Chain A
Amino acid sequence: MNEQQQTLWQFMSQQSDKLLMQTLQHIGLTFISLIIAVIIGLPLGIWITRKKQFSGIILGIAGVLQTIPSIALLGFMIPLLGIGVKPAIVALLLYALLPIIRNTFTGIDGVDASVKEAATGMGMSKWQVLSKVELPLAMPVILAGIRTATVINVGVATLASYIAAGGLGEFIFGGISLNNTNMILAGAIPAALLAIIFDFLLSRVQKLNFKKIKTATAALPVLLIIMASFYFIPSAYGSKLIAGFTPEFMGRQDGNLGLRSKYGLKINPVVISDAVMYKAAYEKQLDVISGYSTDGRLKAYNLVVLDDDKKIFPPYYAAPIVREDALRRFPDLEQTLNLLSGEINDVVMTELNYRTDYLHQSPERVAEDFLRSKSLLKPARGGNAGVVRIGSKIFGEQYILANIYSLLIKGYTDHDVSTKTGLGGTNICFGAMENNQIDLYPEYTGTGLLAILHPPAKIVDALIADKDKTYDYVAKEFEKKYNIKWLKPIGFNNAYALMMREKKARQLNIKTISDLKRYLESKN
């Protein structure tokens, strides 16, 4: 425990520059969007107290906006506003609107009718009734709304890092991807503290008496603007090409750290979610991104992979892994599965992924079309000599492979097949295999090495550059430890890769990561 605290403290002090920058960005994002939300929400809330027939619609719309998942909302924003701070602010302000509109409405509506009548009866104009009576009396309720909105915004602002708007989410999501508790806490604790502090301060403002609330209401806009300006303190990126990496890639040795140490690449990337990164590259919001080499979006968005000429990305060659007892039970299984060996290279796999992920064709159909094109498709024999259980992880490529294997087994053997697709991540899928719930699933050499075997760093370093050595090592160790056999590799390598828009890469004549480095360092 003590050690854990110490290391967290060490991590935070080590990263104090970054932490301060992210915290300032976080506060800035929260308050910029809050100010805009107040500027929009307050008049709207007042307006619907005057036009009650619209109150249902307006509050309904604001309510619906709040139910849109934040990631989806951020996704919608990209075609309209690109990535970075603009869409983040718009998304945050949409979430902040509901509490502000609703509380303004409730607060003003709740002002004692006889007080309003007295104000009018004494000869106050509509504007005077609003500014001298209704707003001051509704202020505690309106402030409660702003308080709620602030706390919501501090929370949602963590997601801003998905679209390269910075904030404490960079640490949180980086930490989750890298399973680095200290990193998660270094982002989560300050974010939680911000929420608690702002909530407390605003609760104090709310409890002030009428006299002081006047001063507070006057001081609040000034304070908000100061807070909002925090966002602009950390300087923006200043590179010729804008790079966007996933939080996971940012913190990995076989990711950004390796790019820095092995290539000396200084590109100062923004942190962005995998979900929106490819699209952002396509829309010229980003020039260089970190991705997976067989991702279907490569084809969809016309991106090219830069050659990893110094071999820092470990190989992730796919191969079926099968329980030994299943191979004994189904003697013709191995040769059937090996029919696929060498048939799918990176380009083919990317194409297949493109058809499912982007053209939304079913994995069954894609698998069938592929086998037909390779003249490997045979009609199902409808045999009943036992059932082979095929598993897959929960992404498109795995579904396609599972379907291909299923068709092959049905066509070339007398066995029947049951598929258990969508088994979450590696741990779940491999766990199912260990527990004899599935007989086989497609796995990647890099995953087998780093996520399942966890060998000491020395062994990893020795193996990582060489795809054959990695394959041999995992095959041997799986046999020994789990009685699971790696069959022949399918042919493609779904590894980390740097990629650029094809046109841009051609224009700048960048083919390899070393080319990229040379370009960045030229004309500086």
Chain B
Amino acid sequence: MIQVEHLSKHFGAVKAVDDISFEVKEHENLILLGTSGCGKTTTLKMLNRLIEPTSGGIRINGEDVLKQKPEELRRGIGYVLQNTGLFPHYTIAENIAIVPQLLKWDNKRIENRTAELIEKLHLSTDQLKAYPNELSGGQQQRAGLARALVADPPILLMDEPFGALDTITRSKIQAEFKELDELKKKTIIMVTHDVQEAFTLGDRICLMDKGKIIQIGTPAELLFKPAHDFVKDFLKEQRLQLEFKAVKAPQPPEGGAFELDGAIITADVSLWWLLEQLKFTKAERISVLDHEHKKVGSLGFDDLMSAFYQYQSHSAHE
């Protein structure tokens, strides 16, 4: 869906982004990971032309981005910033309505869409009339997300969207984020420096350093098949936790899901995720459901741990 080819950005003599190429598939969640100054944010901002590339090409659905009018391009791409970038002089409702108004939607349509979104994002109708500074950090971030999603753009660019939140709020919003239907249909490119976040949210991770891509691949590939010592070093400190996150849960039958305390959990989750759910609910076992949501088995703590060790020894021998 998105093709980046030999993309470079030089600021004077500094090569902020140095000849990188990658591809993002439809509905994929690609994380640009790296320390500050590695070029990840510059890369992201070139995608919606907030920064113009020095050389190279970007194509979205085969169309050359650099030949489009920047304003029109941006209206079709959702953009979420670390500090939300909500307009302080607009109410939450007005903030959410910015892009629809640029697209000249009628008021009824804007209202309906806003009502739909705030319910999904757990915001209240009262908060629509509030100004951003009257909301908590978490609520502001939700409003920022609503603003990016309102016009239903197929692509979402996120620049450290959870960076300004405290740890507890962050993991809560990350969990919601993962479960949100709206987002599952999106192609998302997210910038972060937080390794845990990258492993929690990313389908694939693109690890960058000094303007270059060091490795691009699934979390498991980065952990178990590092292409470079840099990758190993980068992940070293939190390795064990990351491994749990990188390993998928033992899969239920095709079309199935998990169930815990009456809540359905999608099949596509990590071991870490299931372990955390077990811990929070204090339940003994997770039910495994088939495609008709009939219980076909169950998983306990021991099952999850053995699945992990199996995966680990399997990839070590590979």
Contact = CB atoms under 8 A, between A and B. Distances in A.
A352 B69 CA distance: 76
B99 interface: yes
Interface in A79-134: 112, 114-115, 117-125, 128, 132-133
Contacts of A395: none
B147 to A, nearest CB: 8
Contacts of B89: 136-137, 210
Contact of B98 (A114, A122, A137): A122
Contacts of A132: 87
B102 interface: yes
A122 B76 CA distance: 8
Contact of A115 (B75, B82, B85, B147): B85
Contacts of A121: 48, 50, 74, 79, 81, 85, 157
A117 B45 CA distance: 10
Contact of B86 (A118, A124, A125): A118
13 contacts: A112-B88, A118-B81, A120-B50, A121-B48, A122-B102, A122-B147, A123-B74, A123-B76, A123-B99, A124-B98, A125-B71, A132-B87, A133-B87
B270 interface: no
Contacts of A120: 50, 74
Contacts of A122: 74-75, 79, 98-99, 102, 147
Contacts of A128: 102
Contacts of B177: none
Contacts, number: 64
Interface of A: 112, 114-115, 117-125, 128, 132-133, 136-137, 210
B87 A115 contact: yes
B85 A114 contact: yes
Interface of B: 48, 50, 70-76, 79, 81-90, 98-99, 102, 131, 147, 157
A119 B86 CA distance: 9
B75 A119 contact: no
Given A121-B48, A122-B98, A210-B131, A114 B81 contact: yes
A118 B88 contact: no
B102 A117 contact: no
List the 7 closest A-B pairs by CB distance, nearest first. A118-B85, A123-B75, A123-B74, A121-B79, A210-B89, A114-B83, A114-B85
A119 B87 contact: yes
B146 to A, nearest CB: 13
A118 B144 CA distance: 10
B88 A137 contact: yes
A428 to B, nearest CB: 60
A10 B105 CA distance: 67
B99 A117 contact: no
Contacts of A133: 87
Contacts of B73: 123
Nearest to A125: B71
A119 B84 CA distance: 11
Contacts of A115: 85-88
